[in-house]
C-alpha cells in the first residue's frame, strides 16, 4: 500500500516568499487540501520586490525574482503567487498588474500569475466586505500602513478602523524595521492577536482583513468568525484560496474560514 507523498496531482503552486520567513509555507501546508502542493522561492530584496522602469511602463525584477521565475518555469505549475503584502501596497497603482504581466512572460504558458494584494482584494470582494477592520503586523511601519490604507481605498474600499498588532512590552521600544531581524517572526503569540482583534473590531466593520504573509493568524480565523459573526480574510488564506480557484479547484477545506466555501 502506497503512502501519501504530497505530490501535486491536482495542482502545483509556486510562491515567492521573504527569505527569512517560515510562516507562509507553514500556513499553506496547514490549510492544503489533498493532491495540491506548494513550492517556495525565497526573496531577500526589499519591498517592493520589482521596481518600475524609468518610463513606469514595466517593472524590472530583482535578481531573486528573476532566478525564481526561471526555476518555476520548469516545474509545471498551475499558478505562481508573489506572497508579499508589502510589495503590493508599496508598489503603487498598477504594480500588481505589471508584475503579473512580467511573470506571465517568464513562466510556462498557461501558468497563472497573481500577487498577495490581488488575492486579498478578490477575497474581500467575494466575501462582501467593503469596510474591513485592517489588521497589520507590528513590523509594518507608518509608511507601509499609509500605503496599505491607500491601496485599499484606491480599490474602492473603505476602512472601518485599523489595528497594528501589539506584540507585548518586550517589543514596544523596538523600531518596526528591527522587529523581524531580532526574532519577532518566530516569537508570535496568536492568542494575543485573537484577543486584540476581538476587542478592536468596531461595530461598523463588515469583516476583518489580516494583512502580512509573515503574521501567524490562520489558527484563529474560525474562532474570530464565530466570535465576531463576520468574515475574516488573512493574507495566506486569500492567496491559497485564489490559487485554487485559478486552477479550477473548489476543494472542501474546513476550519480556516468561510472563504473556502465561496
- pLDDT band at residue 56 using 50, 70 and 90 as cut-offs: confident
Q: Is 115 left (phi over 0), alpha (psi -120 to 50) or beta?
A: beta
Is the Cβ–Cβ distance between 15 and 239 less than 8 Å? Answer: yes
Segment 22-50, tens digit of pLDDT: 999 999 999 999 999 999 999 999 999 99
Q: Quick one: average pLDDT of 205-227?
A: 98
List, in order, residues 6 or more apart from 150 with CB less than 8 Å away. 89
Neighbours of 250 (CB within 10 A): 13
Is the Cβ–Cβ distance between 231 and 127 less than 8 Å? Answer: yes
Beta strands per DSSP E along the chain: 11-18, 36-43, 50-52, 59-61, 79-82, 112-115, 133-136, 161-164, 208-210, 232-234
Is the Cβ–Cβ distance between 131 and 206 less than 8 Å? Answer: yes
Give residue 1's pLDDT: 80
Segment 190-200, tens digit of pLDDT: 999 999 999 99
Q: Which of 53-57, 90-94, 108-112, 164-168 is predicted with the least confidence, judged by mean pLDDT?
A: 53-57
Classify 119-234 by CATH class.
alpha beta
- Is 0.85 topped by the overall pTM? yes
- Give helix 221-228 / helix 190-200 axis angle, nearest 10°: 20
For residue 179 the three cell numbers come to: 522587529
Residue intervals of the chain classified under CATH 3.40.50.12500 are 11-118+237-261, 119-234
Segment 101-151, tens digit of pLDDT: 999 999 999 999 999 999 999 999 999 999 999 999 999 999 999 999 999
Give residue 99's pLDDT: 96
Domain 11-118+237-261 annotated CATH 3.30.70.380:
no
Amino acid at each position: 500500500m502506497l503512502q501519501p507523498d504530497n505530490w501535486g496531482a491536482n495542482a502545483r503552486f509556486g510562491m515567492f516568499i521573504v527569505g527569512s520567513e517560515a510562516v507562509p509555507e507553514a500556513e499553506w501546508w496547514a490549510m492544503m487540501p489533498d493532491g495540491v502542493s506548494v513550492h517556495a522561492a525565497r526573496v531577500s530584496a526589499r519591498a517592493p520586490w520589482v521596481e518600475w522602469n524609468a518610463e513606469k511602463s514595466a517593472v524590472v525584477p530583482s535578481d531573486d525574482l528573476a532566478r525564481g521565475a526561471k526555476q518555476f518555469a520548469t516545474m509545471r505549475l498551475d499558478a505562481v503567487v508573489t506572497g508579499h503584502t508589502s510589495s503590493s501596497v508599496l508598489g503603487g497603482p498598477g504594480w500588481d498588474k505589471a508584475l503579473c504581466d512580467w511573470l506571465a512572460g517568464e513562466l510556462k504558458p498557461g501558468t497563472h500569475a497573481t500577487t498577495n494584494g490581488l488575492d486579498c482584494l478578490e477575497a474581500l470582494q467575494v466575501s462582501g466586505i467593503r469596510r474591513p477592520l485592517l489588521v497589520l503586523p507590528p513590523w509594518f511601519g507608518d509608511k507601509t500602513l499609509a500605503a496599505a490604507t491607500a491601496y485599499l481605498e484606491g480599490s474602492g474600499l473603505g476602512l472601518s478602523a485599523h489595528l497594528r498588532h501589539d506584540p507585548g512590552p518586550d517589543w514596544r521600544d523596538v523600531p518596526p524595521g528591527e522587529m523581524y531581524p531580532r526574532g519577532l517572526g518566530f516569537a508570535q503569540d496568536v492568542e494575543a492577536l485573537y484577543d486584540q482583534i476581538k476587542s478592536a473590531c468596531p461595530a461598523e466593520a463588515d469583516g476583518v482583513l489580516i494583512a502580512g504573509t509573515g503574521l501567524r493568524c490562520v489558527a484563529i480565523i474560525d474562532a474570530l468568525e464565530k466570535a465576531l459573526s463576520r468574515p475574516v480574510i488573512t493574507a495566506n488564506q486569500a492567496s491559497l484560496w485564489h490559487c485554487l480557484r485559478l486552477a479550477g479547484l473548489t476543494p472542501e477545506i474546513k476550519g480556516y474560514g468561510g472563504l473556502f466555501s465561496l
